[in-house]
Structure 1
Amino acid sequence: MDFMTLSGLLGGLALFMLGMQLMTEGLRQAAGKQLKQILQTGTDSDWRGLSSGTLITTLVQSSSVVTVATIGFVNAGLLNLRQSITVILGCNLGTTATGWLVALIGFKLSTHFFALPILALGMALRLLGRHKKLAHLGTALAGFGLFFVGLDVLKTTLEGFQQTFTLQPEGVGLLGLASALLAGFILTVVMQSSSAAMVVILSLIASTNLPISAMAAAVIGANLGTTSTAVLAVIGATANAKRIAAAHVVFNLITGMVGLLLLLPARQLLDNLSAYWDPVLLLAGFHTLFNLLGIILFWRFIFRLSQFLERLFRTQEENLSAPQFLDRNILTTPTLALEAMSQELTRVSQLTSALARQAISSELTEIVQLERQRDAILSLCGQIADYNQKIARESLSEETSKQLPIALRVTRYYSHITQLAAHLPTYYDTLAALANAGLNHQINEYQQAAITLIDSCEIQPDSCYETNAHLQLLHLEKQYQRLKTTVLEQTVQGHLPGSESITLLDSLSQIHQLSQQVEKAARYWSSMLPLQIRQQPTHDHSGAS
């Protein structure tokens, strides 16, 4: 291969990939919110999710853009994992449109006839478009034209290999198919684009005498190669991103197997048909066919796969939100079920106490992490409330019937504490900027007193409410009133800006409410314990004076 041939191959491929990138980015920007709306409204059912994924990927010619958007919607709670899997299936089907675009237009019409005028029109819109949407549409059109210019360069360069490759009468053996499959896989891994690899394969079949069966194996390899993009993209990513990537990998492996099962018995037939039919169209059809059959086989297992993936790649917060003691098998024995719920509430108390301590002391500065912990605890509280209702449907003793409302009340307290704690970081900046040393000292003492109360009220197995906690709360109430008076006086005297004063009072009030909820949760929890435990003498574990 001489320098001119090599430069033609690389240059044509570069033009094609640049054109695809411009087309993808232009369409994505021009569509804007419409893409999001399609994803949100077009996933109400599995079939609509599949259709949405196929349509959007066909339009923007990039499964990566759709996949990233899908991951974002799953992380935001707008899509569940099952819905996202149907979109990913649609993405795989949508990427086969590239082959049809090349087969029906790229090798049929003259580049000078349509590609160059489209490129010129696109650049004119990009440069002269007054509206951003029009300029983005111009970018997409320019990319569309450049796509076919690169394709033409690639095809023209590969025509020089016409005499190099010849179709063997005996067809392609298993070793040849394996080599072609590996070549397609490596090509996609190197270029990180199955569409680019597909164009190279179609250009080869259009410009040389390579057997179509070998190129079909290369198409399967390219389809499998897209899994490398998904795997590389989720290194260090969120759990949802890893689950979606895993679904993508599993599906592509299945479609690859389907493709091979189709190809092995039919490779000779394909080679014979290519003598009468356009091999480029045959190859594009084969690509679509095995992806479509893969979807049909995969369809009935979507729900099971989503359930399986939910248990994989769990984040710390998701592990926190998973109940450890709420066993549905013991619901028919209400006393055991109540004990299980009590143990889960003990765990919630400890999680909530840790979160509240961090929030009050300003130790947890990453608000996103705090919000995730909040969501995990709130999810756990919701599951406890549901479990409470299930116990209530059983035949209950009088004592158990009385304890269920108390348990629900305690659960609600912990839910409120969690929300109050998660809101405290909004006041961090005001507290950090406070220049009044005396006021700072009072606030620190108040924060420490609240943390001491939280320590005293944190539920431990078989512990009971200590009267000392109520005394601590009364002491904290007095601190709060003194501190509030000081802030108001400092503001009236002009030592504190008015806006800063309001924010500061709000933060102190949040801590005050949180402390009240903490004490109530511990007090009501104690009434759920067996009488013999409640009558045990209390000990002061708080260390407060």
Structure 2
Amino acid sequence: MNYVSIIIPFVGGLGMFIYGMQIMAQGLENAAGSKMKTLLEALTKNKFFGVLLGALITAVIQSSSATTVMVVGFVNAGIMNLTQAMGVIMGANIGTTVTGWLVSSVEWAKFLSPGNIAPIAVMAGVIVMLTGKRRSTKDIASIIIGFGLLFIGITTMSSAVAPLEESEGFRNIFVTLGHNPFLGIIAGAVVTAVIQSSSASVGILQSLAAAGLVPFNAAVYIIMGQNIGTCVTAIMSSIGAKKTAKTAAIMHLLFNIIGTIIFSIAGILFFAVINPQAGLGMITQTEISTVHTIFNIGTTVILFPVSDWIIKLAKKIEKEDKTEVEDNKVLLDERMLETPGIALQSVVSEVCRMGRIVKGTMDKSKSVMFTKDYQNILDIKEEENTVDGLCRGISNYVIKLNSLSINEKEHQHIASLLQIISDIERVSDYCENISEFAETLKERKTMFSDVGSKELKEMIEVCADSFRYAVEALEEHSKEKALKVIEKESQADELEIRLRAEHMKRLAKNQCNTDAGIVFLDALVCLERISDHSRNIAEEILTITA
């Protein structure tokens, strides 16, 4: 038997299958876009909702490995806690069964025969892509083309391995895997770990099953091993991440190992004791999809009530670090760029965190010119350095995100976020200027008059409220808060003009200290510009939420 003539088309078919799966997933993801982002925003500590979310996202992006890698990234970024992550991981295992059902549809839906539908799908997709002008139309074309290529790939693999049906040695390999559960599990895990896709690994198994090569018992153990092998991607992605993210990867591994142990015991009892003949018959593609689905849903149902114990066990294994996240570290993960719609939401979360840090700086600035507290002056300067670092890190990440395949609305959202990042950073700069004014007053041992202090406090309150509303509008996507910012900014403009005029009158009458008077005027300028930048943020939010 010429094995080269089998291996080459098989590898080519596998490549086409994986490529078709990827471009179909990319098209689905682009089409879903903001809907996936909205789903993530709605995520709560309710693990059941997390299961549904994980299943849905995995069904869209066609890869449980990609979903769990994203989960590791979210945990690493502090966007998701381990309880939420556990739910999404369980759901991801269910969502990954969709590809298997697509492949097996050639058996239970004869009209979907690859020979009939795949070439038509590819041609139709190409026509739509060449003639379509809108981005959404091209996304639909990608879905159709990917669907067709996926079927062509599985057909090529099945055709390539068909001659192996006559190979007694090859058939004996699968018979051995069926009689030895441990070897079957190892085989499934190794193949999946190598190609880093359980969907593709199941596709390979289905192509062998189509050639009548795989006994039922061997397929069951291989499928369980495939679920363990898919954990390798998430574990590799957690290298270099925080301990909490590594804990999430270990949770995924534990979940699949425990599920495999439970179902392996059930499988051994069934095939060895209850019905030995059931394991000897050849399995079909549809039966593989059924076994894969039963295993993943069954594992979730069994382990869902004890999922908190799995989290605790993972924490003990990893010895999770409970220390707080460092403010100056940019919590954005390159892994999430694989899913731009969700990566965009992680950027929004990080920009909100940057805004909260500056809001804290603004709160310190409200009193520092009157108290001249040295520790507050140092804290403001330190926080400004932190914000500078965050600004650079987030901006670099956003630029990478902007170069990916995203829709026009997401490009506009990114442009608005870059402007918001710049405005928040400028507010931080002005807070540092205010701390320097406090240093000047302290060094020169001078202070504002009672009238000057009262007026400046009034201006500070208005401008601080303006920025506070801007940050809240960003966090809550609130048009009402954004409109309040604009109202406060107008009030700050009027106040700045009035206070400047009154202060000039006092200076002319020698009613205040000259050094303090200069600081007063400079402070008015800084505060008024803080309100200007707050208004800029509000206007960008109104653009995003329009």
TM-score norm. by structure 2 comes to 0.60
Given that residues 25 and 143 in structure 2 are in contact (C-alpha distance below 8 angstroms), is that contact kept between their aligned partners in structure 1?
yes
Q: What is the CA–CA distance in structure 2 between the aligned matches of 1:10 and 1:303, rounded to whole Å?
A: 41
In structure 2, the residue matched to 1:242 is: 246
Does structure 2 conserve the Cα–Cα contact (< 8 Å) formed by 1:161 and 1:208? no
- Aligned partner of 2:225 in structure 1 is 221
| Residues 16, 146 of structure 1: 8 Å contact kept | yes
User: 1:425–1:173: structure 2 CA closer, same or farther, 3 Å change rule?
Assistant: closer
Q: Secondary structure at the match of 1:236?
A: coil
- 1:314 is aligned to 321
Deviation at 1:253, TM superposition (A): 1.0
2:74, 2:84 → 1: CA distance?
10
Q: Which protein has the larger Cα radius of gyration, Structure 1 or Structure 2?
A: 1
Tell me what 1:11 maps to: 12
1:141 to 138, 144, 148: 144
Describe the shift of the 1:104–1:199 C-alpha distance in structure 2 as closer, same or farther (beyond 3 A): same
Return closer, same or farther for 1:174/1:240 CA change in 2, 3 Å cut-off: same
Which structure is higher in helix share? 2
Name 2:420's counterpart in structure 1.
none
Determine whether 1:283 maps to 2:288.
yes
Structure 1 Cα separation of the partners of residues 71 and 90 of structure 2: 12
The within-5 A match list for 1:199-210 is: 199-210=203-214
Cα offset, 1:188, TM superposition = 1.0
Maintained 8 Å contact 2:72/2:245: yes
Relative to structure 1, is the Cα distance of residues 304 and 185 closer, same or farther in structure 2, using a 3 angstrom cutoff? closer
Per the normalisation by structure 1, the TM-score is 0.60
Q: How does 1:64-103 map to 2 (within 5 A)?
A: 64-67=65-68, 70=71, 80-103=81-104
The alignment's C-alpha RMSD in Å is 4.5
Structure 1 CA distance for aligned equivalents of residues 252 and 376 of structure 2: 36
How far residue 288 of structure 1 moved from its aligned partner, in angstroms, is 1.9
Alpha-carbon distance in structure 1 between the residues aligned to 2:122 and 2:223: 29
Three-state SS of the structure 2 residue aligned to 1:364 is helix
Aligned AA (1:55)? L
Alignment of 1:146-295 (within 5 A): 146-165=149-168, 172=176, 176-267=180-271, 272-273=277-278, 278-295=283-300
Instruction: Answer yes or no: is 1:357 the counterpart of 2:374.
Output: no
Distance 1:172 1:55 in 2: 36
Please list every run of 5 or more consecutive structure 1 residues that lacks an aligned counterpart in the other structure: 321-351, 371-422, 433-439, 451-471, 492-497, 508-545
The Cα of 1:298 is off from its aligned counterpart by 0.9
Residues 343-492 of structure 1 aligned to structure 2 (within 5 Å): 357-360=378-381, 364-365=385-386, 426-427=426-427, 475=445, 477=447, 485-486=517-518
2:132 to 117, 121, 129: 129
| Aligned-partner Cα distance in 1 for 2:239–2:427 | 34
Contact 1:20–1:144 at 8 Å: present in 2 too? yes
The alpha-carbon distance between structure 1 residues 6 and 76, as it changes in their structure 2 partners (threshold 3 A), is closer
Kept in 2: contact 1:224–1:252 (CA 8 A): yes
Number of matched pairs: 390
Question: Match of 2:402?
Answer: none
Please give the alpha-carbon distance, in whole angstroms, between the structure 2 residues aligned to 1:260 and 1:244. Answer: 24
Does the residue aligned with 1:185 lie in a helix, a strand or coil? helix
2:72–2:237 contact (8 Å) kept in structure 1: no
> 2: distance between equivalents of 1:38 and 1:245?
22
Deviation, structure 1 residue 198: 0.9
- Following superposition, the deviation at residue 16 of structure 1 comes to 0.3
Shift of residue 165, structure 1, vs aligned partner: 3.7
Give, in angstroms, the shift of residue 29 of structure 1: 0.6
Deviation string, structure 1 residues 341-376 (Cα, Å, up to 9, x no partner): xxxxxxxxxxx9989635425783455779xxxxxx
Amino acid at match of 1:313: E
Tell whether the 8 Å contact from 1:181 to 1:217 is kept in structure 2 after alignment.
Answer: yes
> Is the 1:360–1:424 Cα contact (8 Å) retained in structure 2?
no
More contact order relative to length (CA 8 Å, sep ≥ 6): 2
Work out whether residues 192 and 230 of structure 2, in 8 Å CA contact, stay in contact via their aligned partners in 1: yes
Q: 1:191 deviation in Å?
A: 0.7
Distance in 2 between residues matched to 1:170 and 1:251, nearest whole Å: 26
Q: Is the 1:205–1:212 contact (alpha carbons within 8 Å) kept by the matching residues of 2?
A: no
One-letter code of the match for 2:255? F
Q: Which stretch of the first structure deviates more once superposed, 311-320 or 206-215?
A: 311-320
Cα distance in 1, alignment partners of residues 375 and 185 from structure 2: 54
Q: Share of identical aligned residues, percent?
A: 27
> Partner amino acid for 2:53?
S
Query: How far is 1:99 from its partner?
Result: 2.1
Aligned to 1:521: none
In the superposition, relative to structure 1, how do residues 278 and 317 fare at CA in structure 2: closer, same or farther (>3 Å)? closer
CA-to-partner distance for each residue in 1:16-72, whole Å, 9 max, x for gaps?
Answer: 000010011110110111123334447574333323322332243222444455566
Q: Is the 8 A contact 2:188 2:222 kept in 1?
A: yes
| Per-residue deviation, 1:251 | 0.8
Shifted more, 214-223 versus 308-317: the winner is 308-317
Letter in 2 for 1:114: I
